[in-house]
Amino acid sequence: MAQPALNIACYFVNRAFSEKVTMTNLKLQKMIYIANGIYIAKHKEPLIIERVEVWAYGPVIKPVYDCFKRFGADNINKKTVECDIIFTNYPNAKELEILEATWDLCKELNGIQLSNWTHRPESPWTISMNNKKSFIPDDLLGTYFDQFLKKN
């Protein structure tokens, strides 16, 4: 069953604090996007309940953006009350496997590096943007991320 994206955001923010890894809103957006894509490819259903929106500068999960936008491009520098309140449904084993893999893949990268990857010509965001879509279809995410699962 899909999680609120803010639950996934809080998982990554809490990991960042516990491991002293920098986290920005941009990096957080991309990590959730990647985790959702991998989850769809592997389990044929979305990780998050929200749809990924197509914004001019990349894929965005709006509730996460709204929660962390006050940090702008700066590092998220403290645990937020929102995370303490919203993080009510801890990820199950299936979700945790994907979150751990995404964390390991992305934790040392910054938001710009992740953004460059999500903006590649064959990416779901680029295809959706070129087709003037408001949201990135889950099946497009699944197909795209499936190619990375087949490589491993």
Segment 51-93, tens digit of pLDDT: 999 999 999 999 999 989 988 888 988 666 556 555 556 788 8
Tens digits of residue pLDDT in 102-145: 999 999 999 999 999 999 999 999 999 999 999 999 999 999 99
DSSP3 helix / strand / coil % (the chain, rounded to 5): 60, 5, 30
| pLDDT of 40 above 60 | yes
Nearest to 6 by CA among 76, 60, 61, 53: 61
Average pLDDT of the segment spanning 3-28 = 92
The CA distance from 66 to 100, in Å, is 24
Residue 1's pLDDT is: 78
Residue 58's pLDDT is: 94
